[in-house]
């Protein structure tokens, strides 16, 4: 498991962490995965392709497929190109297609990592505990604002590094 998802697992396994903190940990983990797997150059190339003046979506799809060699070995990069091709095939263009692809890629990444956490807990803990952890992560995924996350992570200027707020003060204990 990647470090961000270890934090998600830790929060989801402990009922003392409210759902909002689990959700924030999911957002931070997805953003960290994005920053690690998707380069600025790829997003820039996608924007160049989507901003081109091709009259036919087939030309755009061919150009998107040409980018596939730049993401070899990256499941998230390949998922992004797959979702982008679906958005273009559905008639979307420009930033709307990119936004749709990023949102769907983030949802896929969340689901994939939630299954990975569940598998870990099935091996290391009880079935009931793994189901509880999976349910809390799924609830967090459902409440995550993937559209705003997509806006933030494809912004060409900002390279915000996501963090989860650590509560370590005397008055920062469990909420009552």
* The predicted structure's pLDDT at residue 146: 92
What average pLDDT does this structure show over 130-141?
93
Segment 137-157, tens digit of pLDDT: 999 999 999 999 998 988 755
C-alpha 154 chain-centroid distance? 12
Query: What is the pLDDT confidence band of residue 95, given thresholds at 50, 70 and 90?
Result: confident
Contact predicate 76/33, CB 8 Å: yes
Contact predicate 13/1, CB 8 Å: no
Quote the pTM value. 0.81
Q: Hey, what are 63's tokens?
A: 């150009």
Segment 21-36, tens digit of pLDDT: 999 999 999 999 999 9
Q: Tell me the domain boundaries of the chain.
A: 3-37+103-153, 40-95
Please check the confidence at residue 10 and state whether its pLDDT lies above 70: yes
CA nearest neighbour of 101 among 114, 88, 119, 118: 88
For the chain, helix (H) and strand (E) counts, in that order, are 8, 0
- The answer for residues whose C-beta is within 8 angstroms of residue 134's C-beta and 6 or more apart is 12, 114, 117, 118, 121
């Amino acid at each position: 498991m990647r470090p961000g998802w270890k934090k998600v697992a830790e929060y989801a396994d402990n009922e003392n962490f409210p759902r909002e903190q689990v959700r924030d940990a999911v957002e931070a983990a997805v953003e960290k995965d994005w920053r690690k797997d998707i380069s600025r150059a790829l997003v820039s190339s996608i924007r160049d392709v989507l901003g081109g003046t091709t009259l036919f979506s087939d030309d755009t799809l061919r150009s998107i497929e040409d980018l596939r060699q730049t993401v070899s070995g990256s499941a998230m990069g390949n998922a992004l190109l797959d979702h982008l091709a679906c958005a273009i095939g559905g008639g979307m263009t420009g930033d709307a297609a990119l936004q749709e692809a990023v949102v769907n890629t983030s949802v896929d990444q969340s689901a994939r990592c939630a299954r990975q956490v569940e598998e870990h807990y099935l091996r290391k803990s009880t079935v009931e505990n793994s189901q509880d952890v999976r349910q809390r992560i799924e609830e967090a995924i459902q409440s995550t604002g993937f559209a705003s996350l997509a806006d933030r992570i494809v912004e060409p200027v900002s390279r915000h590094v996501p963090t989860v707020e650590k509560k370590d003060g005397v008055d920062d204990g469990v909420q009552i």
